[in-house]
Structure 1
Amino acid sequence: MLRSTLCQHSYPIYSISWGDNSNMMLFSLDRQLVIQSLQANVKPFAWKAHDGVILQVDWNVINNQLISASEDCKYKVWDNYGRLLYSSAPFEYPVTSISWSPDGQLFAVGSYATVVLCDKLGWIHTLEKTYTGSILSIKWSPDGNQIACAGGNGRIINGYVTERCLEWNGFEAVLTDERTVVLHNLRNESIERLEFRDRISKASLSFNYFIVVTSTQCYVYNIKNFNTPTIIELKESSVTHISQCQKYFALADGSSVYIYNYDVRLVCSLKHANIHAEQIYADSLTMSNDVIGIKDQLDKKIIHLFDPSSGKALGDGKPISHSNEIIKISLNQMGNSFDRRLALLDNNKDLYLMSIRILGNQRKMVKLATMVSSFLWAETSNILAAITNDKLVIWFYPDIALTNSDILNLTQEEHNIIDDYGKQLELINFYRDRIMIKRADGSTVYCPISIYPDKLHQLISLSKWNEALKLCWTVKDRILWACLAGIATNAKMLDVAEIAFAEIEEVDKVEYIRYIKSLPTTEMKNAEMLLLSGEYQEAEAILLQNHLYFRAIMLNLHAFKWNRALELANKYNLAIDIVLSMRHDYLKQLNRVEELHLFNLQLKQSTLDASELKERIEEEYLNEKKQLQELSTT
């Protein structure tokens, strides 16, 4: 049924494709490409794209890129703003068809008696000659492994994508044909040939397990023994994505996301109204041992978090909401749930780091970098790498951005890799001290980094603090000491943190740690350590729980949280004169008048001068000490 006429033109429209969120569409108009919004009063965006009539277009919602085929014998790749990303060399005949794979990693191009398989960047993987005349239409299978082509002479042909390669920690798996995988162990040069009765649809190699999905079964191999896989009988035959972590792996098919452990026991399944399993791909799902994150398919500013052991929404069930559309999400793999961090890249190319654990009313989040094209967590430690402004930047302890950002630069390293590897680089794998990088021409190279930060993380994960100190003393690297300082601070290892901060000449922090060590109670020390880590709300909560009300008031005063300080002073009828006096001195130094409503409502009191204020603060600390002694005796 015809609902409405969106637009009308004098030229024939040969091809049309839906855009992101189905609120825009792309169509060809003679030599132009046009992006038309479905919303009323929104002007269409058009530009000249080819020198000949455009015959076919396609828009991939995963990578948000456009492709076009034309009678000028070229195909081109565009972004959704109409900027040219790639233009092919001229074919011998007009390019008559073009189509994206479902995951946006490949696209197929058809011309006269020719089918070409291309990378998403535009360069050609392979070219096949056919006996079909002009290829008029190309369609991909839902799993992205097969294409069907309609020929001008009445023939239909299909093809299977082969020679896909997976690499991980000295292992290389190559899909040589639709039912065979050849595994190379590059360490001992052994070769395993795995043959399956059904066509292979997906494969994944990581965390010591190799997972192969066929049209009817899922095979799980331990890399120590490829002779005896464990097998899962699949309910659905269209698995679109596999994701792995240390304890679990996930299979996404047309109906749901299923979570299994490596003993192939079904742990749970994830279902949500705004999560469509058939649209889940690598950048939209991330998992760790205690959290699974999935992008909302309807609102791309939202991330849903689930517990992999139960399938229930994590915590209070509220999703993460970002200010811009999210392109990619990724969780770190090491540590417990308190160490879990989510890295996300938005459509402004800004990279953010976020704490999964809620502190106070919200999760802590910080912007790490801008103009980021690719990022990746290390598998063996919580080290983050990203390509930003054509440089490879590595944060050896990115957690410090959330707790002690003033020494963040001391824990990062930059590599100028554009001269060696070129532009349009993509990070593929990060294992220990090796980062695999995919170049613009499709070749992969390894970029080596220092092994010592990863070794430091491994030692600390085993609570070998003395060995970690010995490593830093031996290597004598400022980056290692900065990482150790941040990790020891978060772990409340005061002696280690003091040594590490001294080595990087952070004198103020050394003095503060010595002050913390001099405090009489464990509760005071814990609160001050949280302050050193930037966790003000938790520090205040500890002080209030242990009846250290005056210290909680002073905490807020030193953090310039004036309203909160006055609230606590009124609530406990304590040190109101100190709060008002410190506020008065603050305004006097800035030559400003009072603007805070809560302070204007407060009854006017005479303020204390500097000496009186100092005496009153000392008096309150003594009173607090006496109260603690009375509580301890009772």
Structure 2
Amino acid sequence: MRLKTHICKRTSVNNNIDYRLQSSASQRSASGNKEKANKEKANITPLSCVDWSSNEEIYFVSDDHQIYKWSANTRDSVEVAKLPDDFIPTDLHWLLLGGRSSGGGKGSDTLLICSNDGRFIILNKSARVERNISAHSAAISTGRWSPDGAGLLTAGEDGVIKIWSRSGMLRSTVLQSDEPISCARWAPNSTSIVFSQGCYMSIKPLAANSKLTRWRAHDGLVLSLSWSTHSNIIASGGEDFRFKIWDTQGANLFTSSTEEYAITSVCFNSEKDVLVVGSFNMLKLCSSAGWSYSSCRFSEPTVGSFYTMSWSTDGTQVACGTSTGNLVVGYIVERQLISRNLKATTTGRKTINLQDITNGSSDVLDFPERVINFGLGYGHLIVATSNQLHIYNEKYINTPIIIDGRTDVRVIEVGKKFFMVLDATSIWVYTYSGRLHLNPRYPGLQAQVPLLTARAVTLGLDVLAIRDNSDNTVIHIFDLVPGASRQYEPHSLRAKTQIAEISACRAGTLDDQYVVLIDNNRELYITESRNLNGAGGGGAAAGGAGNAERGLNGRNSNCGEIYKIGTQLTTVMWASETNILVGVHDTCYSIWYCPGEGAADPTLIALTTLTIDATEFGKNITLESFEDAIVTFRCAGALLPVNVNIYCEILHRTLMEGQWQQALRICRLAQNGNLWATLAAIATRKNQLQISEEAYSAALQIDKVSYLQYIKELSSASAEQMAENSLMLGRLIEAETILLHNKKFPEAVALCLRMHNWRRALEVAQKHEPELLDKVLEKRRRYLKALQRDEWDSVFLPLLDKESDDN
């Protein structure tokens, strides 16, 4: 991946100098035009204010007081307005009403420009000044609209940060200090501000009585900051010739090597996982982990230091202003995706090269509009241009299916049956024939779409899960099975803490679908995504009617059970064809061979999880792909393929087809503890007790073998047997639901008593079988007598008092 760049002049396009990375022959201007351009450039003031008003238009302004608009279509600049002579701009930012991607070629609405005398002005799209406000006693170093568009911040060299409403009314003064503030940026959720003073950086939450986090970031002045919407990390550039990446607690994640000159600007791409870094005559495209994709050095012509940078709303182009007054525009090329035998590479703004690695064939795909995004997988290539979607099948590459009307596509996720698109207006799920399968809706989604990222939306085999941006503890799950009720009425799942990332499994059967969550504490949880109201697995008969009984322990009736299966995870990924999960820690990675069926039992999770040291890979490991039995990691730009246990991959495929005897033969051949435990968990879930008993015996789980022998004595396929089966896997609510749905009330009460869930036992008895109250109270008395304690539970005290009065 690299940037192609060209330098735009403020005069007509004929004077433009086109400079392309690693290609001296690409300078199309004649030498006479070049000398003329250099003479003109000597009289141009530094360009320190640049921003995109749409995907095709850039506004910029410098000390000459002129506001210019550059168009990508004409490659020319026109004067839009003239500022007052005493107004010298220091920062410029467009407010894109409707979200980050509302530009889409339509233009935007409100422009904020700050000056070096402490004023800022707000202009409408007609360049008319709506507000002219004296905000600071010294120069304003930063003026930024909030990501949610509710207000703006100004930070000045007087050491003050203020927040204003969109109409220019002062809301609050966030900070007052004696040190000048050189740069400030909003958090992606608009709840915090990061700013720099000298060589220090600070994060100030906007909540009342919140504490300031401050740390020494560089050995020189911090010149530039950027807060990533995609990864929620912070980049900084300083006079010590380095750029660094930090987490939101101030911990250093990456420190670059020393460059030749000071790092004058850094800017994260809001749609892709990349960072652009500017220095003197140098532009570098980096991963958000810090390592470099490519560098572009400008020696002829000289452009000077990059003062400001801004990505377009679709995340494909970057505009840069330099100290010599040049406007430099770059766009990403050579972005590459690989899936099995296919490799897709962008070779230009409107071309993709699709290769078949196995036979060496290659096709160049030309598009009428600029390529915004693309996805590859399961034998299909999905390409999003400015206004269309192109669906390619590897077998019929010359006859794509074209869908019109999709603008600013930010996320494409390719699944086995469907593919999902997140664009400027909504989320869309299509079949590979081009038919719209689902356009999900829930309260507040329309306002949240501009702030959704790939970490907040996931497409599984038959489900679509979306994290609610207004409440980060809630996930909305849509069923993609045709005719399912949840296709239009999603079920909501609530976690205890805020969720950072979600991922749905991409394979399995209809009854074995799971979603994993990573919360803000980096802990990993898993839950069923389809059987939220039923018992799942062997208890499928205990479906809908059991919903009323799911209030156990104060749980929401819409929620399934959430189990913790890992800690300190940075990212996870499901296998493409099986329900095997891989996750990355700081210095190692883990493989969960059976994360779903064994989730409720810590013993099973331990037996089916393999953790492998990865210090030899280096730091900042990310997951690139997980196809079949090969996991591909990326570290410092290198791709590192690693094999998982091939026998476990084959075992999962065999079990999905219901071939239990074949699965036994695989385990007997491999003689691996992970395989036996995986087979045991899945067989127990599917009520294959004979196979489960042999598997647990081979895994040396003697207690479970004894319990299985007890279960086998119960009536085959009875509610009692299915409930005990679920109980063995640790699924207490599932076991209780099975019994209640089948009207086995005495057994349900006995189950609660066995688990010492006294309140639930009392609740079930009072609701369904009042004659069982005496049994519950008798068990409670024996329990208290064994503990030698008096009754303390407020629920049982009135019942005991009433019983005493009756006696």
TM-score (norm 1): 0.88
Aligned to 1:438: 634
Q: 2:507 aligns with which of 334, 337, 355?
A: 334
Q: Provide Cα deviations, 1:32-71, integer angstroms capped at 9, x if missing partner.
A: 3232333455454333323333322211233121122233
Q: 1:112 aligns with which of 262, 280, 285?
A: 280
2: CA distance, partners of 1:349 / 1:545:
37
Contact 2:448 2:470 in 1 (8 A): no
> Offset at 1:260?
0.9
Contact 1:294 1:303 in 2 (8 A): yes
Aligned to 1:364: 561
Contact 1:165 1:172 in 2 (8 A): yes
Change (3 A) 1:146 1:553: same
Aligned to 2:316: 145
Q: 1:466 aligns with which of 661, 664, 688?
A: 661
Aligned to 2:570: 373
Note the 1:256-405 alignment, pairs <5 A: 256-272=426-442, 273-274=444-445, 276-308=448-480, 317=490, 319-356=492-529, 357-359=531-533, 360=550, 361=557, 362-388=559-585, 390-405=587-602
> Offset at 1:364?
0.9
Q: Provide Cα deviations, 1:408-431, integer angstroms capped at 9, x if missing partner.
A: 222122222223x12221122111
Q: Provide Cα deviations, 1:493-551, integer angstroms capped at 9, x if missing partner.
A: 22222222222233333333333333246333333323333333443444445554433
**Residues 1:429 and 2:599 aligned together:** no
Aligned to 2:708: 513
Bigger relative contact order, structure 1 or 2 (CA pairs below 8 A, ≥6 apart): 2
Q: Provide Cα deviations, 1:422-458, integer angstroms capped at 9, x if missing partner.
A: 222112211121100111x111110112111111111
Contact 1:244 1:250 in 2 (8 A): yes
**Residues 1:552 and 2:748 aligned together:** yes
**Residues 1:477 and 2:672 aligned together:** yes
> Offset at 1:316?
6.6
Aligned to 1:58: 226
Aligned to 2:330: 159
> Offset at 1:219?
1.3
| Amino acid aligned to 1:554 | A
Aligned to 1:525: 721
> Offset at 1:126?
1.4
Q: 2:423 aligns with which of 243, 249, 253?
A: 253
Q: 1:338 aligns to what SS in structure 2?
A: coil
Matched length: 602
Aligned to 1:592: 789
Contact 1:256 1:276 in 2 (8 A): no
2: CA distance, partners of 1:572 / 1:110:
74
| Amino acid aligned to 2:401 | T
Q: Provide Cα deviations, 1:319-370, integer angstroms capped at 9, x if missing partner.
A: 3232322221001122344322111111211111122232523311111111
Structure (1/2) with the larger helix percentage = 1
| Amino acid aligned to 1:57 | L
Change (3 A) 1:97 1:313: farther
Q: 2:377 aligns with which of 206, 210, 226?
A: 206
Contact 2:185 2:226 in 1 (8 A): yes
| Amino acid aligned to 1:281 | T
1: CA distance, partners of 2:703 / 2:783:
23
Q: Provide Cα deviations, 1:145-165, integer angstroms capped at 9, x if missing partner.
A: 211112222221211111211
Aligned to 1:47: 215
Q: 1:486 aligns to what SS in structure 2?
A: helix
> Offset at 1:236?
4.0
2: CA distance, partners of 1:158 / 1:352:
43
**Residues 1:418 and 2:615 aligned together:** yes
Aligned to 1:26: 194
- Which range moves more in the overlay, 347-356 or 90-99? 90-99
Unpaired segments of 5 or more residues in structure 2? 1-167, 534-549, 551-556
Contact 2:441 2:488 in 1 (8 A): no
Q: 1:482 aligns to what SS in structure 2?
A: helix
TM-score (norm 2): 0.70
Aligned to 2:400: 229
Q: Provide Cα deviations, 1:121-161, integer angstroms capped at 9, x if missing partner.
A: 22222111233222221111222221111222222121111
Change (3 A) 1:552 1:312: closer
Superposition RMSD on alpha carbons, in Å?
2.6
2: CA distance, partners of 1:43 / 1:477:
51
- Which range moves more in the overlay, 69-78 or 446-455? 69-78
2: CA distance, partners of 1:549 / 1:86:
59
1: CA distance, partners of 2:375 / 2:180:
45
- Which range moves more in the overlay, 52-61 or 136-145? 52-61
> Offset at 1:573?
4.9
Q: Provide Cα deviations, 1:219-252, integer angstroms capped at 9, x if missing partner.
A: 111223322221112x243111111211211111
> Offset at 1:84?
2.3
2: CA distance, partners of 1:316 / 1:258:
16
Sequence identity percentage: 31
Q: 1:142 aligns to what SS in structure 2?
A: coil
Contact 2:563 2:600 in 1 (8 A): no
| Amino acid aligned to 1:83 | A
Q: 1:457 aligns with which of 633, 647, 652?
A: 652
Change (3 A) 1:585 1:98: same
